[in-house]
Amino acid sequence: MSNFIEIRDLKVEATTDSGRRVEIIKGVSLDVAEGEIVALIGESGSGKTTIALTLMGHTRAGCRISGGSVSVGGKDMVRLSEKQRAKVRGTEVAYVPQSAAAALNPATSIMDQVIEVTRIHQLMSPDDARARAVELFRALSLPEPETIGSRYPHQVSGGQLQRLAAAMALIGDPTLVIFDEPTTALDVTTQIEVLRAFKSVMKKGGISGVYVSHDLAVVAQIADRIVVLKGGETQETGTTEEILNNAKHPYTRELLAAFEPKPRGAAGPAEPATAPLLRIEDLVAGYGQRQADGLPLVRAVEHVSLKVEKGRNLGIIGESGCGKSTLARTIAGILPAAVGKIVFDGTELRRSARERSRDQLREMQIVFQYADTALNPAKSVEEILDRPLVFYHGMDRKMRNARIDQLLDMVRLPRNLRHHRPGELSGGQKQRVNFARALAADPKLILCDEITSALDTVVAAAVIDLLKELQRELGLSYIFISHDLSVVEAICDEIVVMYGGRKVEEITSSTVKTPQHPYSQLLFSSVPTLDPAWLEGLQQDPELVRAYCRH
């Protein structure tokens, strides 16, 4: 089998804000055979996407290809003119982005966007293009393939959008498709359908693929070979089975070890004869105007009750839109509940955070999913941590300086980062600052809302280890909201499963492998493993899939 892609000694430079040039891809070489799917895997900053973009002769702003060759179907993309590259993009080489929602035009119908490339390159008549689009919708297992094209992006689900982005990429009959983390933002149940559709279309069409990801389990299901990258250099290359079962390089083994954090196991019993730290009863919350019955127009949380014992952790899992983040915001008082009771440390709390005492606010903190949007980009780490120390504790400057050093030590960050702004930190460092800010209040309970979902596997595993250490040192309790079952297993004693705004089941860490509710069974069975045969062998009750999966 001949190579369709040949990258030789590829080098890419980036220009820093100070004007200094830094080599970010350092002599990478790799091949992709005709009809083969090769995965590029590694942490953020490893060069995965940068290498993938060079296959279209493209680099991000501030970067340039400084050396080497990138041959795609016999064409050196580095040496082609921009006009020649434009002819290749969309016809011979196509790209599926991480977020189709961000890539699609909300004001243009889906069909018009999918067939646009055929108009630009004059590949076929509009009628033929629409017929071809419907064929692709059907091949990608999209619902109502004849009519879905008349909708707009906001009228379809996230999983459907990703498959529509794939249809847009495939309509020009490319010989290479680049997938840039296309399932990262999807729920596990949705992810399965998208992966199945991608794999089926690629294999049937004999299309070559480059799949960019940091999720080894996803890569295991779709890739023929894996290239492991770190710091712009190749660490290891091999077949999927070789990499997963017989990794040679220490970094590859580190990635594999971080994929499945060690389960928390059976925790000790809750403190005897004490009230729960948190108890919520019959909570209802949502958005929109209040109706005649006093309830909001859109109810995201429906009559949920749960409790958290002192020194123990509760996980809340479920697909996007199930109400888990809304529940966290309601407990914190950011979104006042419409109905129900929140009792914290023996005291019933007012529903709105504005009506709670300073001590009640201090003792319950929330850490949000995206540190980028949670941290003020104009403030230094020192200023960010300063504020809760003044607000909750009234510390003077000398005490605050000493406490900031302690907080940075606690979250395992160098003290000299106190003068840096968030934009100068990595994703993992920003999330640690986010967590340090919560710790500055001296809380009893921390609500963690998907705090590892935007992090790479290795970084996320390190954050989980940190949370465990801090719990042992400070006696904290956590509510951990996630759609990643392995993360929840690693830190939680009890797990609540939510669907459609309701609690459908509560299980303990010891019974997590044997859920009773049909939706819990579907959710847990949908979590990919490192077995390359997992997706092919997966058998799920179609009635359950129809009942609970909104693809």
Mean pLDDT of the chain: 90
Q: Which of 167, 213, 291 is nearest to 37 (CA)?
A: 213
Which residue in this structure is represented by tokens 């890739």?
Answer: 223
* % of the chain beyond a pLDDT of 70: 95
User: Where in the sequence is the domain holding 418, given as residue range(s)?
Assistant: 278-516
**445 in any annotated domain:** yes
**439 in any annotated domain:** yes
Which residue in this structure is represented by tokens 């119908």?
Answer: 109
> pLDDT per residue over 383-421, tens digit each?
999 999 999 999 999 999 999 999 999 998 999 999 999
**2 in any annotated domain:** no
Sheet of 63-72: strand order equals 21-33, 3-15, 63-72, 75-76
Query: What's the rounded Cα separation, in Å, for the pair 131 and 135?
Result: 6
> pLDDT per residue over 191-220, tens digit each?
888 888 889 889 999 999 999 998 898 999
Q: What are phi and psi of 62, to 5 degrees?
A: 85, 0
The total number of structural domains in the chain stands at 1
Contact in structure between 47 and 24 (CB atoms under 8 Å): yes
* % of the chain beyond a pLDDT of 90: 64
> pLDDT per residue over 287-340, tens digit each?
888 888 888 888 999 999 999 999 999 999 988 778 999 999 999 999 999 999
Note if the pTM is more than 0.85: no
Beta bridge partners of 234: 229
Q: Tell me, rounded to whole angstroms, the distance of Cα 110 from its chain centroid.
A: 25
Which residue in this structure is represented by tokens 């850490």?
Answer: 367
**450 in any annotated domain:** yes
CATH number of the domain where residue 352 is located: 3.40.50.300
Q: Which of 440, 443, 431 is nearest to 400 (CA)?
A: 440
- For residue 504, name the pLDDT band (cuts at 50, 70, 90): very high
Please return the burial class of 124, using the count of CB atoms within 10 Å of its CB with bins 0-12, 13-18 and 19+. middle
**203 in any annotated domain:** no
**348 in any annotated domain:** yes
**546 in any annotated domain:** no
pLDDT at residue 551, as a whole number: 43
Beta bridge partners of 366: 447
**429 in any annotated domain:** yes
pLDDT at residue 262, as a whole number: 65
Tokens standing for residue 329: 């915001």
Which residue in this structure is represented by tokens 């973009």?
Answer: 53
pLDDT at residue 527, as a whole number: 84
Q: Tell me, rounded to whole angstroms, the distance of Cα 197 from its chain centroid.
A: 20
pLDDT at residue 546, as a whole number: 62
Neighbours of 260 (CB within 10 A): 17
